[in-house]
Structure formats: C-alpha cells, structure tokens
Amino acid sequence: MKAPPDWRVYERVVACFEVEAAGVESSVLVNASLIGGISRVKRQIDILVDARWEEGAARRIIFDAKLRKRKVDVKDVEAFEGLMRDVNASRGVLVCSSGYTKAAKARADRNIDIRIMEANEAAELDHAAIDPCPLCRIEKRKTEGLVFWDGQFPLPLGFGWAIVFTGKCDVCHCFSFWCWDCGEKLVVPDDETHVCGCERTWFIEKDENEAVFILRLDDGEVPLDRRPLR
C-alpha cells in the first residue's frame, strides 16, 4: 500500500493526540460527516469529539487540521466559526503547522482555540492506537481506512471482569471491537450482527440522528459507543 499523503498523516497525528486526551466518556471520530443544522448539507469534519453515551451535542468539539505553508488568518477563523455553528459544536480547535496571524488570534473567541503542531511531529504517531481497517481492504476501497481505538471498558461479568476495546474507521466509519477474552478483533458494518468467540453479540442500532454500538450480554445490553449523524 502506498504511503498516505502528508495532510492525511497530519490529521491522523492530531487525532491520536486527541484520542489520548479525550478520556473514555468522549468518542472520537476521524473524518466525520454531519448534516448541518443550518445548511442541511453534509459537512466534513477532520476530528469530531462527542459524548460517548449522552444524546445531543452539548459537549461537541470539532478540530480542523491545517497542514500548509501559510499562517492561519482571519478568514480561516471566520469560516471555522461558521462550521461550528452549522454542526452545533460548543468548542472548536484549529491546529496549524505554520502558525497564525495576530488578527486570527484576536478574532478567535473563547470557544475557539488555535494550536500549533509542526509537520515533523507526525513522526510521533502512536501506531499502537490504530490498526488498518480490514473491511476497507476487503471492499477494495480507493483509500484504506484506519481504526482508531478510543474506548477501553472493563465490564463486570460474574466473578471477574471482561476487557473490551471499541474503535471506528476513519474511512468507512464502521464500529470495531476487540474482545480480550477470545482475542477477536473485528469491524462490524452497520447492517450486520456478529457473535464473537465468547458468544457475546455485537450490533448497531441506527436512526436518523445517530448510530449506537451495542454489546448484548446474558444479563442485558451495554451501549459502548455512538456515532452522531447530525
């Protein structure tokens, strides 16, 4: 597989740092797509951070990663602020490789943070936090996705605990799980149900607003992750 373009590596580096910082109560989706509340069209978001279990967008944060030679300016901040309003984000973070102008910093209000991450920081990408998406490879997509593991859950079962990881692909956006008991690691498409080697059932419930990744156990169902659509 050929090397990804520099801008994609840069975005994924930013995502890896956010996955590390977000905590289990937040769900991180890379290369997200939301229907704008004002525009009513799909809006692409480099990195979307949303509440993992809560409905609504009260804790929504969006990131825009700009890998380029020129500095971020006022127009960039204003365009980003418009995107925030359209997708109902409470906070926004502009990550830039070449700095920003004084006017851009002055224009950014308290809900917008501008950070500098130089291009050479891509060398710090933590490959342990991601895996190639096998579903994208099977479907022979033009761009093969990466699964970002952003959730780790100790589930009480009987007299012990089960450890499961969840993640999402940055291209096909399907949920993934990694069950430590049976060692199975799999991408689950939205319209499929899978039973792992531990006889646990993994499936997705979806409506017009969100998709929810659910684990069914003998004593009930556990929502593990959600992917907002609006």
Domain containing residue 192: CATH number: 2.40.128
User: Same domain, yes or no, for 12 and 77?
Assistant: yes
pLDDT of residue 1: 46
* 128-136, long-range: CB < 8 A, 24+ apart: 129/16, 129/19, 129/20, 130/12, 130/16, 131/167, 131/176, 131/185, 133/169, 133/171, 133/172, 133/174, 133/176, 133/187, 134/186, 134/187, 135/169, 135/172, 135/174, 135/187, 135/189, 136/169, 136/171, 136/172
Write down the pLDDT at residue 10. Answer: 84
Do 149 and 181 fall into the same domain?
Answer: yes
Q: Which among 76, 100, 124 is the end of a domain?
A: 124
Q: Are residues 30 and 117 in the same domain?
A: yes
Residue 62 shares a structural domain with residue 133: no
Residues 119 and 10 in one domain: yes
- Per-residue pLDDT in tens (0 to 9) along the chain, 230 residues: 445 567 888 888 888 888 878 788 889 999 999 999 999 999 999 999 999 988 888 889 999 999 888 999 999 999 999 999 999 999 999 999 999 999 999 999 778 999 988 877 666 555 557 889 989 988 888 888 999 988 888 877 766 788 899 999 999 999 999 999 899 999 999 999 999 998 999 999 999 889 999 999 888 899 999 999 88
Report the pLDDT value the prediction gives residue 125, as an integer from 0 to 100.
59
**113 and 11 housed in the same domain:** yes
Number of domains forming the structure of the chain: 2
- Predicted local confidence at residue 167, as pLDDT: 93
Q: Is the same domain home to 115 and 224?
A: no
199 lies in a domain?
yes
Last residue of a domain, one of 91, 124, 157: 124
Same domain, yes or no, for 27 and 116? yes
Q: Identify whether 1 is part of a domain.
A: no
Q: What is the domain-level CATH number for residue 119?
A: 3.40.1350.10
* Domain range for 45: 6-124
146: in domain = yes
pTM of this structure = 0.87
Q: Are residues 48 and 111 in the same domain?
A: yes
Residues 62 and 84 in one domain: yes
Last residue of a domain, one of 124, 147, 163: 124
Amino acid 101: pLDDT: 94
75 and 177 both lie in a single domain: no
